[in-house]
Structure formats: C-alpha cells, structure tokens
C-alpha cells in the first residue's frame, strides 16, 4: 500500500461519514447525546476541504495530518478517540513509504491501544471497539492465510457488521450511553455501526 491507496481509504471514509451523518446521530441519540454523526461529519468535511494541502509525502505524514484536523476540529470525545486512532497509526508507520499487510495490522493494533487508553474502554463495553477489534482479527487471519486484499477486506467488513449487530444486547459501560444504564440494552452502539459501515464502504471502493 502506498500513500495514494491510503488516500483512497481516507477519502472513502470521509465521504461515507458525511453521507451517514444523520444515521449515525440517530443511532447515538437513542441513549446518547445524538451528536456523534454531526461531530464526525464536521471534522471530515474539513479534511476534504483541506485535501490538496495535506502532507502526503509519506503514509505517516498523511495520517498525522488527518489526526491533527480530527483532534482539533471534532468536538467532544469523538475527536479525541478518532484523532488518537489516526495519530497512533501514523506513529506505527514512521518513515515507511510502502506499507505492508503486517504494517496495516500493526497500525490498527496501535490505534486500538490508543483508543483503549483514551476512552478507558475494553471489549464488551459496547463501544466501537466491539466491531473494530473483531474486524482487525479477521483481516489479520485472512492475510495470514494468504488471501488477497480484496477478499480480506470484504471478510473483515462482514465480521464488522456482525459484531456491530452483536452490541444490541450489551450494557453500555462507557460514554454518554452508560448513563442510561439498562436502557442501553436493546440498542446498537453508534460507533460500532459506524465501523461496520466504513469497512463496507472501503471494501466496495477497494474492489472498484
């Protein structure tokens, strides 16, 4: 993977987040404060507005530029969590110009570690991690089996969707949703669904 392929992924993410702004906010509004989609969309709008000015001299510089925008312009916890994920991924890639499959997994793992530290969240807490981590596990398993990237991403997207749906019976233990207690049971976690939607969108774009 080179910077242009990474740019395809990030641009697909930005377009998808903006297109699903209302959907993500509606999901978040069931037991949260309902601003999840709005906050992310505003941040990624700025990413697109500044697209031509982003430092794309290396994958690491590109991801760091994204993280700076997200941390600085997305309000609340979402800005910190998503910005940290991009920053951690950029730190993992360091001076690399080409990114291997192993680098992709390492970047994801470092991003997850950053999310856990920032959000004090673990698997089962009904957060985006409950879709993200299983999807990463599937992606790594597919790579280890020698599957091509298209098949690997598609399989990860399927797992992300299944895992997002599996948040419905969970009790929210982090974020605004945790304030609702047992009322959070029966609803989908907005962050987990967002992860699923993004994996599906990237899978479609990668095939094309």
pLDDT per residue as tens digits for the range 119-131: 888 898 899 999 9
In angstroms, the Cα distances linking 138 to 1, 132, 144 are: 19, 10, 10
Six token digits for residue 53: 């000015």
Judged by DSSP in three states, 17 sits in helix
CA–CA dist 77, 79 (Å, integer): 5
For 25-53, what is each residue's pLDDT tens digit? 999 888 777 788 999 999 999 999 999 99
d(C-alpha 95, C-alpha 81), whole Å: 24
Q: Residue 72: how many CB atoms within 10 A of its CB?
A: 11
Q: What is the C-alpha R_g of the chain?
A: 16
pLDDT at 180: 57
Categorize the per-residue pLDDT at 110 as very low, low, confident or very high, splitting at 50, 70 and 90.
very high
- Mean pLDDT of the 102-121 span: 94
Separation between Cα atoms, residue 63 and residue 56, nearest integer Å: 8
How would residue 74 be classed by pLDDT, with cut points 50, 70 and 90?
Answer: confident
Q: Give mean pLDDT, residues 2-15.
A: 90
Residue 189 binned pLDDT confidence (cut-offs 50, 70, 90): very high
Place of tokens 């409950």: 130
Distance of CA 55 to CAs 19, 23, 68, 81, 110, Å?
A: 25, 31, 11, 22, 22
Report d(CA 190, CA 33) in Å as an integer: 11
Which is more confident, 175 or 95?
A: 95
As a whole number of angstroms, the distance between CA 105 and CA 51 comes to 25
Q: What is the pLDDT of residue 171?
A: 82
- Give mean pLDDT, residues 167-194: 78
- Split at pLDDT 50, 70, 90, the class of 178 is low
Q: Which residue has the tokens 């982003």?
A: 54
Average pLDDT over residues 140-154: 97
Looking at the chain, the whole-number percentage of residues with pLDDT higher than 90 is 73
pLDDT at res. 1 = 62
Unique residue bearing structure tokens 């994996």 = 199
All structural domains of the chain, each given as residue ranges with its CATH number in brackets, are 3-207 (1.25.40.340)
State residue 179's pLDDT score. 46
Name the residue with higher pLDDT: 75 or 63.
Answer: 63
**Which residue bears the tokens 């939607």?**
197
Q: Is the pLDDT of residue 77 over 50?
A: yes
Determine contact, residues 114/128, Cβ cutoff 8 Å: no
| pLDDT for 2 | 66
């Amino acid at each position: 993977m080179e910077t242009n392929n990474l740019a395809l992924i990030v641009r697909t993410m930005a377009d998808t987040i903006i297109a699903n702004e209302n959907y993500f906010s509606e999901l978040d509004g069931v037991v949260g404060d309902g601003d999840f989609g709005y906050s992310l969309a505003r941040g990624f709008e700025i990413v697109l507005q500044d697209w031509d000015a982003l430092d794309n001299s290396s994958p690491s510089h590109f991801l760091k530029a994204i993280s700076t925008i997200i941390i600085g312009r997305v309000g609340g916890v979402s800005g910190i969590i998503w910005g940290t994920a991009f920053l951690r991924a950029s730190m993992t890639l360091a001076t690399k110009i080409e990114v291997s499959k192993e680098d992709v997994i390492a970047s994801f793992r470092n991003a997850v570690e950053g999310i856990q530290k920032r959000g004090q969240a673990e698997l089962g807490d009904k957060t985006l991690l409950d879709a993200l981590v299983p999807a990463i596990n599937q992606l790594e398993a597919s790579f280890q089996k020698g599957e091509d990237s298209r098949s690997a991403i598609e399989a990860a997207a399927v797992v992300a969707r299944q895992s997002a749906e599996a948040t419905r019976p969970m009790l929210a233990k982090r974020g605004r949703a945790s304030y609702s207690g047992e009322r959070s049971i029966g609803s989908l976690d907005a962050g987990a669904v967002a992860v699923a939607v993004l994996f599906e969108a990237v899978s479609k774009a990668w095939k094309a």
